[in-house]
Amino acid sequence: MLNSDPTDINGLLARLQTMLGPTGFLSGADTAGYTEDWRRLYQGVTKAVLRPANTADLAEVVRLCAAAGAKLIPQGGNTGMVGAAAPAADGSELVLSLGRLNHIRDIDAADMTMTVEAGVTLKAAQDAAEAAGCLLPLSISSEGTAQIGGVLSTNAGGNNTVRYGNARDLVLGLEVVLADGQVWNGLRRLRKDNTGYCLRQLFVGAEGTLGVITAAVLKLVPRPREIEVAFCAVASPAAALEVFGHLQARDPAAIQAFEYMSGAGMALVLKNIPDTALPLAIPAAHYVLIELATPRQNAGLRDLLEEVLAPAMEEEKVLDAVIATSEAQRRAIWKLREEHSEAQKREGASVKNDVSVPVSAVPTFLAQASAACTALIPGIRVVPFGHLGDGNIHFNLEQPIDMDGAAFLARDHEIMDTVNEVVRSLDGSFSAEHGVGRLKPYMMPQWRGGAELDIMQRIKQALDPLGMLSPGRVLP
């Protein structure tokens, strides 16, 4: 909460306004657009959105806010799924927007690294890497809006995790503003550096609760020269995993994405997203999108795909398949996958479960969780999709057609707990890539209680003793 003495807060705001100027300090109606999360689960209010343009100014903002007892919510592109970046409804939190720290400081194609500020969108960073002849191998559906700081703070996963790991696997160095306004410059670009605790990994995935990431050194990889994208209707999730296994046995390093979609999700995309079409003759209950890529030339990836898909079609594990023959077709196929979230949002209220289980357990998970949810709310629409190659399924549930959206959302804990029971029985996690945010801290004692939560609370206490950064996020 802000200091009880309102004159302190008014004094703080006046000082910040003078320091940041009209572009860097927004208040009143200008804060709209920063106060609601992407899913529209949280409608917040804030006295000001602070938009410093560089690390030194941001550090001064944090220092002044700490001195005045103000709470800060760091915010990037605000595309998160668990409400971490939206301010509280009681107006007690100031938004710290990273959007003006938007410079690419350096790209080194020899070292295969880029140094990029927190407010650069993931797409802009990818484009810059590409222009330098490299690939920044992180890809998420919201990459046009999501910013590097948020992507790292949430340890985003996405479509290429199966090959390159999560965001944390791509970070060599970080610059972070601490809760007392100190700047930690850890922008090293070393591949090996064993010098004490690995601090950068503490801030990655901390969702802004331990410090504010202002810049990062990211690993790049060679740009692919050969890419093949296939879209397949499969008989079942188990059949999809068989195909995955065959590809892994032949060329694991070529599998850049292995994504699952259900017939229910595909129907919503085709219904709610313009300019989409199923590239197969007949709709199915299950689909996979396979992307193979390699920097090698003439690597024969298309032959590989055909060698794996042809026998699977004979055995009726794969019911139908198309391999893209042009960049336009590849994009059209990816659009079917990437618009799943938007299609669900347009359809109505949905409860998201971003869960992971061992890859081999995905078919069991899908069957058991679907049955449990249908028993809980007859008519509930089960719309699972996601990163099958990582065992990460977005087990999303859409309101029954004839149910009121608000009444459905009021049951979100009940629904999430039902799904999580299945996840737990399969040794999975309740949050694979979206994080904990404001939506899921209540799950932490049950899932991460005991020594694990105790360590997390001690770290929080050590780095943010006033509890001024992203309060109520991650930790219960």
210 or 269: CB nearest ligand MLT: 269
Within 74-133, the residues that bind ligand MLT by CB under 6 A are 81
Residue 276 sits in the site that holds ligand MLT (CB under 6 A)? no
Closest CA to 139 of 119, 112, 121: 121
Q: How far is the CB of 184 from ligand MLT (least distance, A)?
A: 29
Site string for ligand MLT, 14-43 (x = CB under 6 A): ------------------------------
Within 63-82, the residues that bind ligand MLT by CB under 6 A are 81
Backbone angles phi, psi at 165, to 5 degrees: 85, -175
Alpha carbons 260 and 202: distance in angstroms, whole number? 31
Q: How far is the CB of 403 from ligand MLT (least distance, A)?
A: 20
Q: How far is the CB of 4 from ligand MLT (least distance, A)?
A: 40
Write the single-letter amino acid at 9: I
Q: How far is the CB of 423 from ligand MLT (least distance, A)?
A: 15
Closest CA to 456 of 442, 430, 426, 476: 476
Q: How many residues bind ligand MLT (CB under 6 A)?
A: 9
Q: How far is the CB of 81 from ligand MLT (least distance, A)?
A: 6
16 or 388: CB nearest ligand MLT: 388
Neighbours of 311 (CB within 10 A): 12
335 or 424: CB nearest ligand MLT: 335
115 or 344: CB nearest ligand MLT: 344
Closest CA to 337 of 213, 202, 454, 232: 232
Backbone angles phi, psi at 441, to 5 degrees: -55, -30
Alpha carbons 39 and 37: distance in angstroms, whole number? 6
Q: How far is the CB of 238 from ligand MLT (least distance, A)?
A: 22
End-to-end Cα separation, the chain, in angstroms: 16
Residue 352 sits in the site that holds ligand MLT (CB under 6 A)? yes
187 or 257: CB nearest ligand MLT: 257
Neighbours of 454 (CB within 10 A): 11
Burial category of 184 from C-beta neighbours within 10 Å (exposed 0-12, middle 13-18, buried 19 and up): middle
117 or 354: CB nearest ligand MLT: 354
Burial category of 348 from C-beta neighbours within 10 Å (exposed 0-12, middle 13-18, buried 19 and up): middle
Alpha carbons 303 and 308: distance in angstroms, whole number? 9
Residue 386 sits in the site that holds ligand MLT (CB under 6 A)? yes
Closest CA to 94 of 169, 3, 157, 159: 3
294 or 341: CB nearest ligand MLT: 341
81 or 362: CB nearest ligand MLT: 81
Q: How far is the CB of 287 from ligand MLT (least distance, A)?
A: 14
Helix ranges, 213-359 (H): 237-250, 263-272, 301-314, 327-338, 340-347
Q: How far is the CB of 405 from ligand MLT (least distance, A)?
A: 17
Within 438-457, the residues that bind ligand MLT by CB under 6 A are none
Alpha-carbon distances of 222 from 73, 108, 133, 188, 366, rounded to whole Å: 36, 12, 7, 21, 36
Q: How far is the CB of 263 from ligand MLT (least distance, A)?
A: 17
DSSP state of 67: H
The pair of three-digit structure tokens given for residue 410, joined into one six-digit string: 């009021």
Residue 394 sits in the site that holds ligand MLT (CB under 6 A)? yes
Pick one of 141, 201, 236, 368: the residue that binds ligand MLT (CB under 6 A).
141
Site string for ligand MLT, 316-345 (x = CB under 6 A): ------------------------xx----
Neighbours of 345 (CB within 10 A): 15
165 or 222: CB nearest ligand MLT: 165
In sequence order, the 6+-apart residues with CB closer than 8 A to the CB of 38 are 78, 79, 80, 81, 142
Write the single-letter amino acid at 428: G
25 or 38: CB nearest ligand MLT: 38
Q: How far is the CB of 23 from ligand MLT (least distance, A)?
A: 32
Q: How far is the CB of 338 from ligand MLT (least distance, A)?
A: 6
Write the single-letter amino acid at 162: V
Using CB positions, name the residue nearest to ligand MLT.
Answer: 341
Contact assessment for residue 289 and residue 261, using Cβ atoms and an 8 Å cutoff:
yes
Residue 431 sits in the site that holds ligand MLT (CB under 6 A)? no
The pair of three-digit structure tokens given for residue 197, joined into one six-digit string: 């605790």
Q: How far is the CB of 178 from ligand MLT (least distance, A)?
A: 29
Site string for ligand MLT, 290-319 (x = CB under 6 A): ------------------------------
Phi-psi region of 165 (alpha: psi -120 to 50; beta: other; left: phi over 0): left
Pick one of 396, 399, 431, 470: the residue that binds ligand MLT (CB under 6 A).
396
Binding site for ligand MLT (CB under 6 A): 81, 141, 340-341, 352, 354, 386, 394, 396
